[in-house]
Amino acid sequence: MTVAARPTLAELRLADPPERWEALGFRVEADATIALGGVRLVLGAPGVGIVAWALTGIPAGISDIDGLATSAAEPGDMAPPPPPAAPARSAHPNGAVALDHVVVLTPDFDRTAAALEQAQLPLRHIRDAGGFRQGFRRVGPAILELVEAVGAPAGPARFWGLVAVVEDLDGLVERLGDRVGAVKPAVQPGRRIATVRTSAGLGPALAFMSRDPQPGSRP
């Protein structure tokens, strides 16, 4: 019996111009892409913020998951992952080594969760965050986080933001100055996070996070 491949995030398409990400210390290739821990960020797409994603291992023909523009990717379309041995030195001036998670907002949590399940992306863990729900599942090198937007107008789900893991969070925050907020404890135990301010001009929300002290322990 053939075991179906697990859906894996291969690509995120963003509307931001490359220079805004370069200003935050990311290495942008000549084709306006950023390779980040096995995921390719494609910059300069039409629209605003994160406009679409591509995943391997999803059913053929899917182009939309409750409003999230979606395409199927082949395994060879993924950015090269880091070596499986000890973490290699980052290729980015800001020390980014991985994409930790991608955040999706929805005004109808149950509807979006059902749409994800139909696309073979069922949530693995759901928690009550004090008045709203969060759902999680791993999509290869990153985590998909679905957040319930309580009180938001009716409508489709939408991509909201992403979090990059960096080697030296304190050093990066010092170098970026007023483009990033103060370092704070993250929800994830043992980790810290700093959010890029809107003055940086990015479409999606972006935060930098310290490494996971227990890699592989999340859903």
User: What value, to the nearest 5°, has the Cα angle with vertex 169 and ends 89 and 184?
Assistant: 155
Residue 216 within any structural domain of the chain: no
**What mean pLDDT is predicted for residues 64-70?**
97
Query: The domain spanning residue 154 has which CATH number?
Result: 3.10.180.10
Which amino acid would we find at residue 62? I
Those residues with Cβ within 8 angstroms of residue 70's Cβ, 6 or more apart along the chain or in another chain:
52, 53, 54, 55, 58, 62, 63, 64, 119
Domain range for 35 is 8-82+93-209
Residue 55 within any structural domain of the chain: yes
Q: How many domains does the chain have?
A: 1
C-alpha span between 81 and 93 (Å, rounded): 18
Helix segments in the chain, DSSP class H: 18-22, 109-118, 169-176
Inter-CA distances, 89 with 38, 94, 153, 167, Å: 15, 11, 44, 9
Confidence band (pLDDT; 50, 70, 90) for 82? Answer: low
**What mean pLDDT is predicted for residues 9-20?**
97
Q: What percent of the chain has pLDDT over 90?
A: 81
Whether the per-residue pLDDT at 78 is higher than 80: the answer is no
Residue 74 within any structural domain of the chain: yes
pTM over 0.75: yes
The burial of 69, by beta-carbon neighbours within 10 Å (0-12 exposed, 13-18 middle, 19 or more buried), is given as middle
Whether the per-residue pLDDT at 15 is higher than 90: the answer is yes
Residue 17 within any structural domain of the chain: yes
Residue 1 within any structural domain of the chain: no
Residue-level pLDDT at 176: 97
DSSP string, 131-183: SSEEEEEEETTEEEEEEE-TTPPS---EEEEEEEEES-HHHHHHHHGGGB---
Residue 21 within any structural domain of the chain: yes
Q: Is 119 left (phi over 0), alpha (psi -120 to 50) or beta?
A: alpha
The answer to whether the beta carbons of residues 201 and 20 sit under 8 Å apart is: yes
Inter-CA distances, 24 with 160, 174, 214, Å: 19, 12, 27
The 10s digit of each residue's pLDDT in 185-217 is: 998 889 999 999 999 999 999 999 999 877 655
Residue 118 within any structural domain of the chain: yes
Residue 214 within any structural domain of the chain: no
